[in-house]
Structures are given as structure tokens and as C-alpha cells.
Amino acid sequence: MQLLAKIALTITFLVPTGIAFWAAILATIRVWQSDVATDWLRPSTYLRQRVKEQTGAFVREPDAIYQDGKIVGRVRGLVRVDEATARVEFSTIIRAEEFDKDRPFNFGRYTLDVMGSPGTEAAVNVDEQGQPTGRTLEQVPCRIRHER
């Protein structure tokens, strides 16, 4: 009986060990025979991805208008800022399909409200190069709520 128990225990320990050993050998052979992607090993790629993840919420594009943290329009042309009267006027806002004029928005270091209605508003417009600009607002007067 003792002999059978020793044989059973030996098989119980050796078979999984043998299977794991052969699996490791086969995996090693497969790694050496295939092409391995190494671009993720470069420090610059890793760091660039981490910086983008960490700063994405803080870095803003200089010509973008934001609502709820996402870009809802782009500013083109002249921007007049008069901090003495807490006013900003945009000559043109393009790609403003998702821009809600009745809600506050962020531009640069300011949180702004649209005052009244823009001078003109077009559903689809075309710029100087013939590219569509989407919903376009022109001569948009705004009030500065506060600086960020």
C-alpha cells in the first residue's frame, strides 16, 4: 500500500511539473520564432502616453471653446478682450454645432456667457479655402464670468 501511495504522489507532483516544463519550452520556442512588437518598450512612447493621460484635462487648445470639458467650437479671426468692462467679443466661431449659447463656456483662461444674440448665425458656412466650417456664429459678444 505504501508503494502505491508513493507512486501516486510522485505522479501527482511530476506530471503537472512536466506539463508546465514542456509548456514553457513551447512558449519560448514560439517567442523566438515570431516577431515581437517592441515599440511599447521605448521610454519616449511610454512617457508621451503618460503625459497625455495626466495633462489631457489641463492642457487646452488656444483656439477652442469648451463646454463640459469637450470642444464645442473654434475661434477664428479677431478676439477683443476688455477686462475693464468684463467683455469679450469673438469675430467668428466655427464648428459650433454642439455649442449651447445659453450655457457658460470656457475659452482660454476665461469662463464666459454669451450676451444677447450673435450678429449672424449660419448653419453651414465655407471658409476662404472652400472648406466647410459647420455652424458659424459671427460678432459674438460675451461677458466674463470669472478667470480660471
Helix H, strand E, coil C: the string for 118-146 is CCEEEEEEECCCCCEEEEEEEEEEEEEEE
pTM of the model: 0.58
Nearest Cα to 122, choosing from 95, 90, 91, 89? 95
CB atoms inside a 10 Å sphere around CB 125: 18
- Tens of pLDDT along the chain (148 residues) come to 888 888 887 888 777 887 888 888 888 888 788 776 666 667 777 777 777 677 655 678 889 999 988 999 999 999 999 999 999 999 999 999 999 999 999 998 899 999 987 777 777 666 677 777 688 899 999 999 988 7
Q: Which three cell numbers stand for residue 103?
A: 450655457
Burial tier of 21 (Cβ tally within 10 Å: 0-12, 13-18, 19+): exposed
